C-alpha cells in the first residue's frame, strides 16, 4: 500500500519543494468535515500513482507557516507541485477523477511506466 506522509513546516521544503517527482499536497485540519471526505480520495490517488507521484498531508493548524506561505484560506486545499513549475490548486472536496483531470495526472503515470520499461534487465 502506498504511504501518505504527514509533512510539517520543518520538512516541507525537502519532501515537496525539492522532490524529484510530482507531489500532491492535501492541506487539511482535523475539525474540517470536507477534509474527512478528501482522505479516501487521497488514499486512492496514492495507491494508483504509487511510484510516479507522491501524496502528502499538511495539518494547517499544526503548520501555520505553510498555510501563510501558500495563502491557504480555505480547506481542504489540494495542491499539485511539479518539479520546476508553479503549483496548481483546487479547493474543497473533489473525487479522484476530478483531481486527475484538473492536474492531468494520468500523463505522469504513463511517463513513470515508460521510464520503468526503459530500464534494461539483466539475463
Q: Which of 2, 15, 32, 90 is catalytic?
A: 32
The sheet with strand 5-6 has its strands ordered as 5-6, 54-59, 23-28, 77-81, 88-91
Q: Which of 4, 24, 35, 75 is catalytic?
A: 35
- Would residue 2 show up in a list of annotated catalytic residues for this protein? no
Q: Identify the CA nearest to 24 among candidates 61, 50, 62, 63.
A: 50
Cα 16–Cα 9–Cα 24 angle in degrees, nearest 5: 30
- Would residue 32 show up in a list of annotated catalytic residues for this protein? yes
Instruction: Specify the 3-state DSSP secondary structure of 41.
Output: helix
Catalytic residues: 32, 35
Amino acid at each position: 500500500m502506498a504511504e501518505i506522509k504527514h509533512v510539517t513546516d520543518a520538512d516541507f521544503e525537502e519532501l515537496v519543494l525539492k522532490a524529484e517527482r510530482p507531489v500532491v499536497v492535501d492541506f487539511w485540519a482535523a475539525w474540517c468535515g470536507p477534509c474527512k471526505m478528501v482522505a479516501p480520495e487521497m488514499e486512492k490517488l496514492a495507491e494508483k500513482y504509487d511510484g510516479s507521484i507522491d501524496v502528502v498531508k499538511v495539518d494547517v493548524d499544526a503548520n501555520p507557516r505553510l498555510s501563510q506561505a501558500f495563502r491557504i484560506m480555505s480547506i481542504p486545499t489540494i495542491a499539485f507541485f511539479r518539479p520546476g513549475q508553479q503549483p496548481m490548486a483546487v479547493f474543497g472536496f473533489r473525487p479522484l477523477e476530478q483531481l486527475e483531470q484538473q492536474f492531468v495526472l494520468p500523463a505522469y503515470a504513463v511517463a513513470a511506466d515508460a521510464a520503468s520499461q526503459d530500464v534494461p534487465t539483466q539475463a
